[in-house]
């Protein structure tokens, strides 16, 4: 421990950051040099029979300063997303570390935002990167965004189908239990006390059954605690029909009044919501 001239103990206090920034996490979690070297070597050996060497343009980020990068962002906003992709920075990280909301797919960016963003990612950028590699990153994340959007819209399709089948309005609503707020994907009625709560859940993998089932059961228990006379149902997407019985078994709980399975086709969704509407005695009759 350091001491001063009078041999008095000097206490050095090192203040640790309780939370690391996204940029710090990126730096810490870069693949180690040995993995990079092994991966390159393995790729060259594994695909040596189909290797073709071509001349492609490279962006040398080492020769670009933050001010020049900011100007490029303002002039060509479309390059913002792929440039951020190559350093694992997305919209949430920008909001968290820089304090402003910015859609990385936006068609424009202000001078101030561009300067903040460029200064933030410049230390994280690789020395250079091939243009085709950057374009492939953009393709990957564009496709990922589209797939996530498609999955998110499934809930809306199910809710609308339920409205059509019943002739009633089912809306996304919230309730509070034990000072905690919960969201119901499709609730009836649209206003006043909720009498029917429907949790619409996608379970994409068998290994997610227990986690997602626990989420559904917990919400059902909380709902029944607040609305003991209400009914709680689950509409589940699980692309393994031969394992539906496992999901049903996992969701067997006194607080859940019914579980229905629906796929992506309109006919599958219609079958599920018609059964549900019939159980609720809300099925629309043809006049």
pLDDT at 214 over 90: yes
Is 61:129 a contact under the CB 8 Å cutoff?
Answer: yes
**Per-residue confidence band for 21, with pLDDT thresholds at 50, 70 and 90:** confident
In CATH terms, is domain 151-279 a member of 3.30.750? no
Q: What is the Cα–Cα distance from 283 to 287, expressed in whole angstroms?
A: 12
Cβ atoms within 10 Å, residue 260: 19
Using CB atoms within 10 Å of the CB of residue 79, give its burial: 0 to 12 exposed, 13 to 18 middle, 19+ buried.
middle
Average pLDDT (106-135) is 93
The candidate with the shortest Cα–Cα distance to 58, out of 127, 140, 138, is: 127
Q: By 3-state DSSP, what share of the chain in percent is helix, strand and coil, each rounded to 5? A: 50, 15, 35
CA 155 to chain centre: 15
What's the Rg (C-alpha) of the chain?
Answer: 27
What residue spans define the domains of the chain?
55-127, 151-279
Query: Which tens digit of pLDDT belongs to each residue from 246-277?
Result: 999 999 999 999 999 999 888 999 999 999 99
Tokens 């917990």, located at residue? 218
Average pLDDT (230-248) is 94
**Per-residue confidence band for 287, with pLDDT thresholds at 50, 70 and 90:** very low
**Per-residue confidence band for 16, with pLDDT thresholds at 50, 70 and 90:** low
**Per-residue confidence band for 20, with pLDDT thresholds at 50, 70 and 90:** low
**Per-residue confidence band for 237, with pLDDT thresholds at 50, 70 and 90:** very high
Is 175:194 a contact under the CB 8 Å cutoff?
Answer: yes
Query: Which tens digit of pLDDT belongs to each residue from 36-94?
Result: 788 778 878 877 887 888 889 999 999 999 999 999 999 999 999 999 999 988 898 89
Q: What is the pLDDT of residue 33?
A: 83
Considering only 26-40, 129-143, 166-180, 241-255, which range has the smallest mean pLDDT?
26-40
Dihedral sign for Cα atoms in the order 193, 160, 253, 203: negative
Sequence-distant (≥ 6) Cβ neighbours of residue 118 within 8 angstroms:
66, 67, 69, 70, 73
Q: What is the pLDDT of residue 54?
A: 82
The CA-atom distances, in angstroms, between 255 and each of 182, 197, 213, 223 are 16, 11, 13, 9
Portion of the chain with pLDDT greater than 70, in percent: 90
pLDDT at 5 over 60: no
Q: What is the Cα–Cα distance from 21 to 283, expressed in whole angstroms?
A: 52
Here the tokens at position 1 are 């421990």
pLDDT at 147 over 50: yes
The CA-atom distances, in angstroms, between 167 and each of 173, 211, 231, 238 are 18, 33, 18, 27
pTM over 0.75: no
pLDDT at 163 over 80: yes
Q: What is the pLDDT of residue 11?
A: 55
Q: What is the pLDDT of residue 8?
A: 58
Written as one string, the DSSP assignment of 8-70 is: -B-PPP-PPPSS--HHHHHHHTSPPHHHHHHHHHHHHHHTGGG-------EE-GGG--HHHHH
Tokens 């309730």, located at residue? 175
């Amino acid at each position: 421990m350091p001491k001063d001239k009078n041999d008095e103990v000097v206490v050095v206090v090192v203040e640790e950051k309780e939370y690391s920034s996204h940029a710090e996490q990126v730096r810490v979690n870069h693949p180690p040099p040995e993995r990079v070297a092994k991966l390159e070597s393995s790729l060259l050996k594994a695909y040596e029979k189909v290797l073709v060497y071509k001349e492609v343009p490279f962006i040398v980020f080492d020769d670009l300063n933050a001010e020049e990068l900011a100007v490029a962002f303002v002039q060509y906003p479309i390059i913002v997303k792929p440039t951020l992709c190559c350093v694992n920075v997305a919209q949430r990280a920008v909001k968290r570390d820089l304090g402003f909301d910015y859609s990385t797919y936006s068609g424009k960016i202000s001078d101030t935002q561009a300067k903040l963003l460029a200064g933030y990612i410049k230390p994280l950028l690789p020395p250079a990167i091939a243009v085709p590699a950057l374009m492939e990153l953009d393709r990957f994340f564009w496709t990922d965004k589209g797939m996530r959007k498609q999955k998110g819209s499934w809930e809306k399709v199910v809710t609308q189908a339920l409205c059509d089948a019943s002739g009633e309005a089912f809306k996304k609503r919230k309730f509070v239990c034990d000072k905690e707020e919960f969201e119901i994907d499709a609730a009836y009625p649209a206003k006043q006390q909720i009498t029917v709560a429907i949790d619409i859940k996608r379970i994409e993998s068998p290994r997610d059954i227990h986690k997602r089932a626990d989420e559904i059961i917990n919400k059902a228990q909380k709902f029944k605690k607040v609305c003991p006379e209400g009914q709680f149902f689950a509409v589940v997407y699980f692309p393994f029909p031969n394992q539906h019985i496992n999901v049903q078994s996992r969701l067997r709980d006194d607080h859940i009044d019914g579980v229905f399975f629906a796929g992506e086709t309109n006919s599958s969704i219609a079958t599920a919501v018609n059964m549900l509407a019939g159980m609720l005695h809300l099925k629309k009759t043809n006049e």
